[in-house]
């Protein structure tokens, strides 16, 4: 049987947060409980938002938590696992899409895209109505004198289906529910959708576990992989973490970043608390990540939001 390859894919734009820890824990448990491997990919595409210091801290935090990986990370193979060093790879795949006639420049400003009358989707994304899809080469050249374009990919009127490991069957018609999406920003940085779809395909990732807030990206990534002739992993999304009042956690909740929590709690306490909150353990007890491996199954993981116990992090 094929070895399962899971992954951690942190964006080093800040300190590690309990929500990231939950995601890494479930990704790790799912892979390890199937005898699989884990790779660590640094999603530092955006040079303005990413820092090597944050990445070093994330790696140190993962080690402290007992969540190990087999491949990748900051120091591995001359940055082969850092998205910031892989733009040549993304360029090749961008060119493949371009040769297929699937890419076009988009000159819409942020303000135009976010205008009050722009159609929004239920998850807060906006629907791109194809404003620049049919510009003539002359119109595009004229617009290019004033503004550098972003690059969008033309999506088909076709329903992409997949079965989420946790939430079951899911279907999205890209033309009706998403619209043509950006794969390269005007400043030249490749978009998350392209980089992640390409990397998961090329790095042999067989299982992606991530927060439910990213479930809406999955159809785009699957379609990109198929269009680019890359293999696709299976996807499992996990519920979001909220505080004890049911409020969604955000990076602003400084008390719940791992640097603070490490001052007060042992790794086994943090892992035990998250495992109980997520449904993996029936009752709280301090536990190491490895002790949870034989206890893990997707059936135990809650479907609704995961609430932290009162007082945690205070």
Residues that contact ligand GLU, how many (by CB under 6 A): 7
**Binding mask 180-209 vs ligand GLU (x if CB under 6 A, - otherwise)?**
----------------x-------------
278 marked as part of a ligand binding site: no
93 marked as part of a ligand binding site: no
Q: Is residue 74 part of the contact set for ligand GLU (CB under 6 A)?
A: no
Residue in 198, 193, 189 with CA at minimum distance from that of residue 218: 193
Structure tokens at 119: 């159609």
Structure tokens at 5: 């390859």
Alpha helices in the chain (DSSP H): 18-33, 52-65, 87-99, 110-113, 137-144, 174-177, 192-202, 215-227, 258-264, 267-278, 289-292
Contact segment (CB under 6 A) with ligand GLU among 6-14, 94-102, 105-113, 227-235 equals: 6-14
Decide: 60 and 12 in contact? Cβ < 8 Å: no
Structure tokens at 156: 């088909």
9 marked as part of a ligand binding site: yes
CB of 7 to ligand GLU, least distance (A): 8
Q: Is residue 210 part of the contact set for ligand GLU (CB under 6 A)?
A: yes
Residue in 261, 292, 263 with CA at minimum distance from that of residue 276: 292
Instruction: Rule CB under 6 A: choose which of 4, 5, 6, 10 binds ligand GLU.
Output: 10
132 marked as part of a ligand binding site: yes
192 marked as part of a ligand binding site: yes
Q: Is residue 9 part of the contact set for ligand GLU (CB under 6 A)?
A: yes
Q: Tell me whether residue 248 or residue 264 sits nearer to ligand GLU (CB atom).
A: 248
Q: Is residue 11 part of the contact set for ligand GLU (CB under 6 A)?
A: yes
Those residues whose C-beta lies under 8 Å from the C-beta of residue 283, and which sit 6 or more positions away, are: 276
List the beta bridge partners of residue 211: 238
DSSP letter (8 states) at residue 302: -
Instruction: Rule CB under 6 A: choose which of 175, 203, 214, 295 binds ligand GLU.
Output: 214
212 marked as part of a ligand binding site: no
Residues 20 and 221: their CA atoms lie apart, in Å, by 21
Q: Which of residues 40-59 bind ligand GLU (CB under 6 A)?
A: 43
CB of 208 to ligand GLU, least distance (A): 6
8 marked as part of a ligand binding site: yes
Q: Is residue 233 part of the contact set for ligand GLU (CB under 6 A)?
A: no
DSSP letter (8 states) at residue 201: H
The neighbour count for residue 273, using CB atoms within 10 Å, is 22
- Binding-site residue numbers for Zn(2+) are 106, 108, 128, 132
Q: What are the residues binding ligand GLU (CB under 6 A)?
A: 9-11, 43, 196, 210, 214
């Amino acid at each position: 049987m094929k070895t399962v390859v899971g992954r951690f894919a942190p964006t080093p734009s800040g300190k590690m947060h309990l929500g990231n820890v939950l995601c890494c824990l479930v990704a790790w448990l799912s892979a390890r409980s199937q005898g699989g491997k884990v790779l660590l990919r640094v999603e530092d595409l955006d040079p303005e938002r990413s820092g090597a210091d944050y990445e070093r801290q994330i790696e140190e935090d993962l080690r402290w938590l007992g969540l190990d990986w087999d491949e990748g990370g900051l120091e591995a193979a001359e940055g082969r696992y850092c998205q910031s060093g892989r733009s040549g790879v993304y360029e090749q795949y961008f060119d493949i899409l371009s040769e297929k006639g699937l890419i076009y420049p988009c000159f819409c400003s942020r303000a135009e895209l976010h205008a009050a009358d722009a159609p929004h989707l239920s998850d807060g994304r906006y629907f791109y109505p194809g404003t620049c899809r049919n510009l003539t080469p002359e119109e595009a050249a004229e617009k290019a004198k004033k503004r550098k374009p972003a690059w969008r990919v033309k999506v088909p009127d076709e329903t992409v289906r997949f079965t989420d490991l946790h939430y079951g069957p899911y279907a999205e018609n890209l033309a009706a529910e998403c619209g043509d999406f950006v794969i390269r920003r005007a400043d030249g940085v490749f978009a998350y959708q392209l980089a992640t779809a390409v990397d998961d395909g090329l790095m042999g990732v067989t299982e992606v576990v991530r927060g439910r807030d990213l479930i809406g990206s999955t159809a785009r990534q699957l379609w990109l992989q198929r269009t680019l002739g890359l293999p696709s992993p299976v996807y499992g999304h996990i519920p979001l973490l909220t505080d004890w009042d049911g409020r969604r956690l955000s990076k602003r909740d400084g008390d719940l970043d791992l640097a603070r929590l490490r001052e007060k709690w042992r790794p086994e306490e943090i892992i035990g608390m998250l495992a109980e909150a997520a449904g993996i353990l029936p009752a709280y007890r301090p536990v190491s990540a490895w002790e949870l491996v034989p206890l893990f199954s997707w059936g135990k993981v809650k479907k609704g939001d995961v609430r932290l116990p009162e007082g945690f992090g205070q």
